[in-house]
Amino acid sequence: MAQVWEGLSPEAEERALAAFSELLDDQREARAIALARALLGRVVGAQQLRVALAEAQVARADDAGAVDTLAPLLEAAEPAIEVLALAARALDRLGQESRATQLWQGVLARDVDYPGARSRAAPEVVAPSAGATLASGGELSGGRYLVRRELGRGGAGAVFEALDRDLGRPVALKIYHQRGAAARGRLRLEARTPARLEHPGVIRIFDLDEELGAIAMEWVRGRSLKAAARDEVAPASVRAWILSLVDALAFVHDAGFVHRDLKPSNVLLRRDGRAVLTDFGLALPLGESPARAGEGTRGFAAPEQLRAAPAHGSADVYALGALLLELLPAIPTSAPAVREIARACQALEPAQRPGLPQLVELLEAAFHGS
């Protein structure tokens, strides 16, 4: 039987975390996860490493693995709130609603404003703010929208298909989970940045309701790039998605903005095959520094972005590299060339990454004949 140690010293855990993060930055997720699991199989505790591993497993849709990783921490007398929330999200996606709800209730008991906890701890009620609640019939009591069904949810908010009763048109209505000043700031960014950008590859914003904590935007009836990548798709479709996405990014950069949260779930696909950039909640004007470090999605955010460097288009190029790697199985003929392009996009030095015009040329050549 393998020896089980009591735990890791703070110094040893810090070294293990650094090695784990380095492997993730190098896009060696499978290796990072395998080594971390092997180490954690022989130690008790190691909360930071367990959480980092579980986050990586959730990112790879291994929700059952994430729950197993967090199990020793959940058995503690008072599990950390981040442990409860991460396990609850994984259980939600596994369809284990009862267990997930119990954990969300534990999160809510610690922090009533924790993102997503209120609606998930009591799924029958969505209460964005006083005077703007979602009743059982779907009427939005404080506004003009009739909510029909939920389209999806993430860390910042939930998105609903709704009817704008004043104009008689369907919209996607995103309602933020939190109500604080930081959430209001992100809400304004997510609404106002794309509202300044008129391009078929940028989501159109129709309305901003700060009291409700909601944005009404066009309802793109296609699916997300994340969902599409799970299915068998024609390489020609992937080519069209990627090239139209680069075109949209170039437009955003030329207009003086950096998206800073590019990932497959934030790219929607129109029925004509064009990719659409959504969720500008972390967007910044070119050259502006963020209020805090660590903004972005692990595995997609550039290292300098996580260190709170001023916003630069090269950070979106880094994220585009990570996105390209996720699409490789759908483009077998072009995969070797696209993999090399992705690696170039993820150079550690921002200045060494290709610019978007160069990327178009490289991608066109990679897809030639596919």
Whether residue 267 is found in the same domain as residue 300: yes
- The stretch 33-52 carries a mean pLDDT of 77
Whether residue 309 is found in the same domain as residue 344: yes
Residue 22's domain is classified under what CATH number?
1.25.40.10
Tens digits of per-residue pLDDT, 92-128? Answer: 878 787 788 888 877 766 666 566 666 666 544 343 4
SS3 (DSSP) at 127: strand
What pLDDT score was predicted for residue 52? 84
What pLDDT score was predicted for residue 317? 98
Q: Is residue 236, in this structure, part of any structural domain at all?
A: yes
174 or 116, higher pLDDT:
174
- The stretch 127-156 carries a mean pLDDT of 57
**DSSP 8-state secondary structure symbol assigned to residue 330:** G
Mean pLDDT of the chain: 82
Whether residue 286 is found in the same domain as residue 201: no
Whether residue 87 is found in the same domain as residue 110: yes
Whether residue 197 is found in the same domain as residue 148: yes
The three state secondary structure string of 148-186 is EEEEEECCCEEEEEEEECCCCEEEEEEEECCCCHHHHHH
In terms of residue numbers, what domain contains 87? 10-115
What pLDDT score was predicted for residue 275? 96
Which residue, of 115, 142, 165, is where some domain finishes?
115
Q: Is residue 3, in this structure, part of any structural domain at all?
A: no
Whether residue 253 is found in the same domain as residue 363: yes
Whether residue 303 is found in the same domain as residue 239: yes
Q: How many other β-carbons are positioned within 10 Å of the β-carbon of residue 105? A: 15
Output the six-digit token pair for 128.
Answer: 């964005």
- The stretch 275-285 carries a mean pLDDT of 94
Long-range contacts of 25-31 (CB under 8 A, 24+ apart): 25/303, 25/348, 27/322, 27/325, 27/342, 27/343, 27/346, 29/56, 29/59, 29/60, 29/299
Whether residue 213 is found in the same domain as residue 229: no
**DSSP 8-state secondary structure symbol assigned to residue 25:** H
Q: Is residue 4, in this structure, part of any structural domain at all?
A: no
Q: Is residue 276, in this structure, part of any structural domain at all?
A: yes
pLDDT at 294 over 60: yes
Whether residue 317 is found in the same domain as residue 236: yes
C-alpha dist (Å) from residue 185 to 81, 188, 309, 312 = 24, 5, 19, 20
What pLDDT score was predicted for residue 130? 35
Q: Is residue 69, in this structure, part of any structural domain at all?
A: yes
Least confident among 68-77, 139-148, 175-184, 339-348: 139-148
Which residue, of 96, 115, 134, is where some domain finishes?
115
Tens digits of per-residue pLDDT, 199-252? Answer: 999 999 998 888 778 899 999 988 899 888 877 788 889 999 999 999 999 999
Q: How many domains does the chain divide into?
A: 3
pTM of the model: 0.64
Q: Rounded distance, CA 326 to CA 262, Å? A: 13
Whether residue 167 is found in the same domain as residue 252: no
What pLDDT score was predicted for residue 364? 93
Which residue, of 49, 81, 115, is where some domain finishes?
115
Q: Rounded distance, CA 200 to CA 45, Å? A: 49
Whether residue 299 is found in the same domain as residue 326: yes
Active-site residue list: 261
361 or 84, higher pLDDT:
361
Residue 185's domain is classified under what CATH number?
3.30.200.20
HSE of 198, CA atoms in CB hemisphere, 13 A: 0
Q: Is residue 130, in this structure, part of any structural domain at all?
A: yes
pLDDT-derived band at 347 (thresholds 50, 70, 90) equals: very high
Whether residue 233 is found in the same domain as residue 347: yes
Class of residue 191 by CB neighbours under 10 A (exposed 0-12, middle 13-18, buried 19+): buried
Q: Is residue 1, in this structure, part of any structural domain at all?
A: no
